[in-house]
Structure 1
Amino acid sequence: MLGTREFAPVALSARRYVMGGSVVVGLDGTGNSVPALRWGAAEAAARRLPLHLLHSWMSQPLNIPIAQEAANKKRYGAEVLGKAEEMALELHPGISVTTEQVSEQAVDALVDRSGQAALMVLGSRGHGAIAGFLLGSVSLHVLGRAKCPVITVREEETAAYRRPEIVVGVQDPGTQGEVVLGFAFAAADAHHARVRAVRAWEPPATVGVVPTAPASSGREPPVGEEKLLADALVPWRAKFPDVDVIEQMERGRVAPVLLGACSQACLLVVGRRMHRSPMLLGPAVFAVLHHAGCPVAVVPRG
């Protein structure tokens, strides 16, 4: 059942550049559903979009104490959706809320709805257990296949202070990274937050190489790296002149650098490659989903 534990997520109004559809929230009725519902309802209210609540009675958690007959599963699902709708309207009176109970598997239903959604919100079980918000690896499969941005919100997400800062990873400057930066800047603009654009770098390997120039200390990024970051931000600074931007170059692997940068942020935004195989998510995305202390938005890109 949806509980009454208090959560106060930061409502991010990050608009897709081809806006449309609803804010879709996947619900299973466990404690994971509460922060996802609160976040999704706040998103819908801030962006003036309808909220769509989805429950798969075929994918209910195994620990739900109900009989396994389809009729009982459907009855439970209807109760989950009814309570969720009531909570959403109590939190944000006036928003448009629709509910849907499906017989298809949760992954298939959510991936299908992502094609028309503006944004999707999923709950997760917390640190070290991202592999489930309905059953097993549902959230991971949805994150890897969704056609819209997906935000994961942890079960333990609380009202602890977060500075108004959105951290975005900039590892693919140029066309591929535009959708990720666009998501982050639009969110920051809507909520008077600043953007921290982070690019990680590692010194080139020198084993077996005879240097032809004096070796650097290894503390400064290679020539051109800072310019890549600055150039990637130029169009977004122009489009969102009121958004404060911090450029951060840091030596290290991508995941640890991003995790350090987002330790007090309200949202971490990362991109993922479409049609990736055999892993649906890259190692860096997988790592931040496991360990980030804030909600994570995974934005599909080319």
Structure 2
Amino acid sequence: MTPGHRAKELVIVDNHVAVGVDGSAESRAAARWAAREAVLRQVPLRLVHAVDWPLDPVLPGLGRQDVDRWADQALAEAAEELRRRHPGLEITSRCPTGRPAAALAAEAADAALLVLGSRGLGGLVGFLIGSVALSTVTATDTPVVLVRVADDPDGPGTGAAELVVGVDIHEAGDRMLAFAFEEADRRGCPLRAVHGWKMPPAYTYVPFFDPDNERDVELSVTHMVDDMLLPWRHKFPDVRVTTSVFLGSAGGRLVQASREAGLVVVGRRLRRSPLGVHLGPVAHAVLHHAAAPVAIVAHA
């Protein structure tokens, strides 16, 4: 089957998992998460360290050889640790030169998944999204997972925790649902689909609101969500699926669900504008407040 035909079937090609490595605690946690994911997928792992030279050397006074030596050491130490943890895992390393976001996005082009480390917000849950991570997320069509130190897969609560996915009946979410169901299937964990809805604007002007109208709309929306999930339930019969349909913000409910989740999956529209690409309000809320790793999947 040709790669183009596979894309039409919305099957994510498991070439390899790529992870950004820079020697920080966040990138080490991301590398451990990525290695575990590569083992689950039975694919190789690629460690990537982008060297931004000569525009932004690591420290003042360092020469090119010093920067290269530091990059090689960061990659070697990460590879050595991961080989100890996963002896059978194929691990390769790359050290491209260029702006980190552009280099990481280029490395993600032929990967099934890109994993990046991100700092946590002190004692709070959520992520501190740096410019490199945010620019990389919006520069690639490849799914990107953001991981904090607290998301280390060797820590507590990782096991078969449920996977949470935000769905939108108004968007073409097949690529995101394919990712979510495949992840839940390979992890052997339950999947919870979350959808928040709003009453039509016209109801704002109705002087005497009938509560039955709200119940009717909720029932209709629930049916639409079930219809959206039905093909994927049939394709992945072993995945136990629950739905959460409610009146209100999807972002807030996804953040709440992330406290018991092993992974949260949200979508990002492939939309260009004069102001550039950006994350939608749901993805933005989840990234800044989620208590679990977050996967961002681009879709039309």
Instruction: Establish whether TM, by shorter chain, passes 0.5.
Output: yes
Offset at 1:161? 1.7
> For 2:45, which of 46, 51, 61 is the aligned residue?
51
Cα distance change on mapping 1:17 and 1:71 into 2, 3 Å: same
> For 2:228, which of 221, 227, 232 is the aligned residue?
232
> For 2:281, which of 274, 280, 283 is the aligned residue?
283
The letter of the residue matching 2:270 is M
The letter of the residue matching 2:205 is G
For residues 265 and 231 of structure 1, what CA distance do their matches in structure 2 show?
A: 24
Aligned to 1:114: 108
Cα distance change on mapping 1:143 and 1:225 into 2, 3 Å: same
Residue 178 (str. 1) matches residue 178 (str. 2): no
**Residue pairs, 1:90-239, within 5 angstroms:** 90-127=84-121, 129-132=127-130, 137-158=131-152, 159-162=155-158, 164-172=161-169, 176-205=172-201, 206-210=203-207, 214-216=210-212, 218=214, 221-239=217-235
Q: Is the 8 A contact 2:169 2:225 kept in 1?
A: no
Decide which structure has greater helix share.
2
For residues 212 and 272 of structure 2, what CA distance do their matches in structure 1 show?
A: 36
Offset at 1:260? 1.5
Q: Is the 8 A contact 2:102 2:139 kept in 1?
A: no
Normalising by the residue count of structure 1, what TM-score does the alignment of the two structures yield?
0.85
Once the two structures are superposed, residues 227-286 of structure 1 have per-residue CA deviations (whole angstroms, 9 ceiling, x without a partner) of 110001110111111111101112211210211222201010111111343342112111
For residues 214 and 289 of structure 1, what CA distance do their matches in structure 2 show?
A: 36
The letter of the residue matching 1:87 is E
For residues 59 and 286 of structure 1, what CA distance do their matches in structure 2 show?
A: 31
Once the two structures are superposed, residues 130-187 of structure 1 have per-residue CA deviations (whole angstroms, 9 ceiling, x without a partner) of 222xxxx00011111212111100122241225521101111467x111111111111
Offset at 1:220? 6.9
SS at match of 1:258: helix
5+ residue gaps, structure 2, are 1-9
SS at match of 2:146: strand
For residues 264 and 99 of structure 2, what CA distance do their matches in structure 1 show?
A: 29
The letter of the residue matching 1:245 is V
Cα distance change on mapping 1:216 and 1:100 into 2, 3 Å: same
Cα distance change on mapping 1:66 and 1:100 into 2, 3 Å: farther
For residues 67 and 156 of structure 1, what CA distance do their matches in structure 2 show?
A: 34
Cα distance change on mapping 1:236 and 1:26 into 2, 3 Å: same
Once the two structures are superposed, residues 36-94 of structure 1 have per-residue CA deviations (whole angstroms, 9 ceiling, x without a partner) of 0101111112211111111112179x896674321111110010000011011111102
SS at match of 1:53: strand
Residue 243 (str. 1) matches residue 239 (str. 2): yes
Residue 263 (str. 1) matches residue 272 (str. 2): no
Once the two structures are superposed, residues 93-123 of structure 1 have per-residue CA deviations (whole angstroms, 9 ceiling, x without a partner) of 0211111112111111111122100111000
Aligned to 1:3: none
For residues 77 and 84 of structure 1, what CA distance do their matches in structure 2 show?
A: 11
For residues 147 and 157 of structure 1, what CA distance do their matches in structure 2 show?
A: 24
Normalising by the residue count of structure 2, what TM-score does the alignment of the two structures yield?
0.86
Aligned residue pairs: how many? 280
Q: Is the 8 A contact 2:188 2:239 kept in 1?
A: yes
The letter of the residue matching 1:293 is A
**Residue pairs, 1:15-94, within 5 angstroms:** 17-58=11-52, 67-94=61-88
Percent identity for Structure 1 against Structure 2: 36
For residues 283 and 211 of structure 2, what CA distance do their matches in structure 1 show?
A: 33
The letter of the residue matching 1:28 is D
For residues 203 and 261 of structure 1, what CA distance do their matches in structure 2 show?
A: 23
Q: Is the 8 A contact 1:173 1:228 kept in 2?
A: no
